Structure 1
Amino acid sequence: MTPIPGAREMFSLDPEVIQLNHGSYGAVPVEVQERQAELRAEMERMPDRFFARLPARLAVARERVAAFLNSSGAAFVANATEGVAVALESVPLAAGDEILHTDHGYAAVERALRRRAGESGARLVRVALGDDPVAAVLGGVTARTRIAVLDHVSSAGARLLPVARLAGELAARDVVTVVDGAHAPGMLPVDLDAVNADFWVGNLHKWAFAPRPAALLHVAPRWRGRVRPLVVSYGEGFPDAVEFQGTRDYTALLAAPYGLDVLERLGLDRVRAHNAALAAYGQRVVAEALREAGLCADAPQTTGYPGVPMRVVRLASGLGSTKAEADALCAEILDRLGCQIKIEPVGLLRLSAQIYNTPGDYDRLAAGLPDILRSRRGLLRAI
């Protein structure tokens, strides 16, 4: 957890707020913000020339990001939710087919699955991952399973799944694998050709320091000629039909390689080791403080996954168990402690760690959180 000198000054985050929720929206280094501003200014100076040259420039930017993730076939999309939607639109489904998903799926993706199933007559099969995700997923596969939607790193539980192994096992069963890799780029070493999923999408604006929104959709060779874009525009074939959709603001995508430059200049291994160790520290001190106050449902040993700079602490029963309660708790914690955190509406407090954080950030949360939760528990009992 050796601090990276000058890391805090690299960002334009509010100095009055301790940001412990990098996993939701990321944070863009100032130099990358400046590069995007230059691109926007260029676009406004001469829009015709900017858009005429755009396809070639997008291709250069895409190749840089694809090389970073070792993808032989990719397209830019806005975010992971859009990428999953493209994948679902591209795989034919018939009445009676099954779409397998897990109890760790992202809420927006779950909504997309429900809509696709309703339109096609397919059936959703939800499996609980439990302690053995491979057994759980494969145990949910039947002769009618057409698609399996998996998380690389789950949003709510910060759980790392063995997606390469699962993709291989599912391919052997003729199941199309769609991986929501929203958190993976920048956070973890990723080799998409080795993962060999049919579709994989990851956000660049979370852990890869790109402006928002920016993501990369990787598509396996057998699907590239069958990808159906969500909007039909002037782009033809893959990746152009997915990527080019008229007069969007493409500056976040063009600036994405500059985020990778920042990461590589700092040292990928250094950044990843710092963040993973700091998240583990934060989880430990917050869990210990809450456990001593009887406000934590976790076992004495806290858990996490190798290389994942997000950790969770399970709050005591009744705390943050609904969206309204979770949102109210987050707002109160921000107001009283100056700490921006994330609470999933199942009582999971998720902590992120990025190079701008220090151990003192988590110490501050640990010191003040028990009183807030005690007060909140008292209010709930009085209702």
Structure 2
Amino acid sequence: MKEQFLLDQNITFLNHGSFGSCPKPIFEEFQRYQLELESEPVEFITKKQPKYLKTARECLAEFVRCQGDDLFFTSNPTYAINIIMRSIKLNKGDEILSTNHEYGAMDRTWNFYCKKTGAKYIRQNISLPIVSKEQMIEEFWKGYNENTRVIFLNQMSSSTALIFPVKEICDKAKELGLITIVDGAHVPGHIDLDITALNPDYYTGTLHKWMLAPKGSSFLYVKPELQNDLEPLVVSWGYESVAPGESQFLDYHELQGTRDVSAFLCTPKVVEFLKENNWKAVSQLCKQIVLENYQRFCDLVNNKPLCPISSEFLGQMASFKINTDKPSELKNVLYDQYKIQVPVMPLNGNIYIRFSINAYNSQEDLDKLYNALDEIIKTTDLIKV
């Protein structure tokens, strides 16, 4: 399937988890919408765009298993969390319970909010290596107390690439009367997602990662009873509209004046591409490659796996800890000298390399990374073992 993608053939691309890669048929659909917009922008924006967005929302909703009027498109999950952050009303001393495995932009968003309100953002420690799902749940709830009002956690962590037991945590949170917010940036198109069954108050995910959509395509789901409490991040024509639609929720968050929504409109093509190419089977093969290779990379750098090597904790990407005090230099060497695009990421005082596997990857790509790291270990001081 490598020929289906637009990636530079001279680069070994092992970083799908950061920004994804868009297949040619989907990218062509993206450009088709842009050309249609430019050919008659007034007709497109005022008449066609609302209908196109509705079709795209309904297609996405079927894919992630919720109702089409309960979500809207955003450029990325950070944008979505900023909307929620501005809308929930917390008081001084109220706490948002999270983990120390969250995406850095999300941590910054909540820290900003807490400085404004006096609320507290709790990054509860989830210790590594993971022993069991029960351990993760037990450690998470150690951060709970009478001041906890919100839980916020990623369903798959970015730096450590771990799958979190979100369903179990959401279920208990609802029993405790807490607001539940889930960052599922890495989930759609990667692991099974049923938003209705998960039953969070808020859920955000991307299409431009594992669903293969053009960059800048994500969504925010909001439970129906909370939708009218959600304030628009950008106040525009949909606010107190002179021609309101059927949903204030969609008016407030979809109608933002002039912007290019072509990436959102590709959603039906995205879902079609995944179905036509039997993507569940493709994804399963990629996950198997990850499981088969994870231990040997840990052995190479003389560190333990971050979790039991199983599909309960790992999907199409995996992270392993490395001992280095020069992470930026290491990343540059891997790219400049070996032509390998792979993230070298800090988290909680540690450094991790995370490799991602998608349809355009092969065992040969991981062998290149392994051999490059082996040579770097033997010939430089960038990695200590």
Specify the alignment match of 2:87 in structure 1.
90
Is 1:377 the counterpart of 2:381? The answer is: yes
- Cα deviations across residues 130-163 of structure 1 (Å, max 9, x unaligned)? 3422112222111111111101000011111111
Q: Residue 308 of structure 1: CA displacement?
A: 0.8
After superposition, the C-alpha distances for 1:316-366 in whole angstroms (9 at most, x for unaligned) are: x3x1x5xxx323211110122221111112221101000000101111111
Q: Within the alignment, does 1:365 sit opposite 2:360 as a pair?
A: no
Residues 159, 305 of structure 1: 8 Å contact kept: no
* Separation in structure 1 between the aligned mates of residue 158 and residue 253 of structure 2, nearest angstrom: 25
1:247 match: secondary structure: coil
Match of 1:262 in 2: 273
Asked if 1 retains the 8 angstrom alpha-carbon contact of 2:59 and 2:267, the reply is no
Quick check: 1:179–1:197 contact (8 Å CA) kept in 2?
Answer: yes
Shift of 1:376: 4.3
Contact 1:75 1:240 (8 Å CA) reproduced: no
Matched, 1:332 2:329: no
Name 1:342's counterpart in structure 2.
343
Q: CA deviation at 1:368?
A: 1.9
The residue type paired with residue 56 of structure 1 is: K
For residue 146 of structure 1, the aligned residue among 144, 149, 154 is 149
Contact 2:305–2:320 (CA under 8 A) maintained in structure 1: no
> After superposition, where does 1:206-355 map in structure 2 within 5 Å?
206-236=209-239, 237-288=248-299, 290=300, 295-298=301-304, 303=309, 305-306=311-312, 308-315=315-322, 317=323, 319=324, 321=325, 325-345=326-346, 346-355=350-359
Matched residues in 1 for 2:38 and 2:289: separation? Answer: 42
Q: How many residues align?
A: 364
Aligned pair 1:112/2:119, yes or no? no
Q: What is the Cα deviation at residue 175 of structure 1?
A: 1.1
Aligned equivalent of 1:24: 18
Q: Distance in 1 between matches of 2:352 and 2:40?
A: 49
SS at match of 1:185: coil
Q: Which runs of 5+ in 2 are unaligned?
A: 240-247
Within 2, Cα distance between the matches of 1:219 and 1:13?
35
Whole-Å Cα distance in 2 between the matches of residues 161 and 215 of structure 1? 20
Asked if the contact 2:376–2:382 (Cα under 8 Å) also holds between the matched residues in 1, the reply is: no
Q: Is the CA contact 1:17–1:340 (under 8 Å) kept in the aligned structure 2?
A: yes
- Which of 163, 166, 181 is equivalent to 2:184? 181
Could you tell me which of 37, 42, 45 is aligned with 1:43?
A: 37
**Pairs within 5 Å for 1:61-80:** 61-72=56-67, 73-80=70-77
Partner of 1:122: 119
- Of residues 247-256 and 230-239 in structure 1, the stretch that sits farther from structure 2 once superposed is 230-239
Residue 300 of structure 1: how far off its partner (Å): 11
Aligned partner of 2:8 in structure 1 is 14
Indicate the RMSD between aligned Cα atoms, in angstroms: 2.0
Instruction: Work out the CA distance in 1 between the residues paired with 2:229 and 2:204.
Output: 17
For 1:368, give the aligned amino acid.
Answer: A
Query: Distance between the aligned counterparts of 2:216 and 2:276, measured in 1?
Result: 23
Q: Offset of 1:222 from its aligned partner?
A: 2.0
Distance 2:302 2:319 in 1: 11
Q: Distance in 1 between matches of 2:339 and 2:20?
A: 18
Report the CA distance between 1:375 and its aligned residue: 4.3
1:374 to partner: Cα distance: 4.3
1:4: which partner in 2? Answer: none
| Gap change, CA 1:150 and 1:360, over 3 Å in 2 | same
* Rounded Cα–Cα distance in structure 1 between residues aligned with 2:104 and 2:237: 31
Tell me how far apart the structure 2 counterparts of residues 300 and 328 of structure 1 sit (CA, whole Å).
Answer: 24
Q: 2:330·2:382 contact (CA, 8 Å) conserved in 1?
A: no
Q: Quick one: distance in 2 between partners of 1:215 and 1:181? A: 10
Calculate the TM-score normalised by the size of structure 2.
0.90
Conserved 8 A contact 2:295-2:305? no
Q: Which residue of 1 aligns with 2:244?
A: none
Mapped to 2, the partners of 1:171 and 1:218 lie a distance apart of: 17
Alpha-carbon distance in structure 2 between the residues aligned to 1:93 and 1:222:
18
SS of residue matched to 1:348: strand
- Checking the alignment, whether the CA contact within 8 Å between 1:276 and 1:308 is kept in structure 2 is yes
Identity of aligned residues (%): 29
Residues 378 and 28 (structure 1 numbering): CA distance in 2 closer, same or farther, change over 3 Å?
Answer: closer
> Structure 1-normalised TM-score?
0.90
For the 8 Å contact 1:90–1:226, the answer to whether it is kept is: yes
Preserved contact between residue 159 and residue 304 of structure 1 (Cα < 8 Å): no
* Structure 1 CA distance for aligned equivalents of residues 214 and 355 of structure 2: 22
**Structure 1 CA distance for aligned equivalents of residues 292 and 160 of structure 2:** 17
Q: Is the 8 A contact 1:99 1:122 kept in 2?
A: yes
- The one of 349, 360, 373 equivalent to 1:356 is 360
Residue 202 of structure 1: CA displacement? 0.3
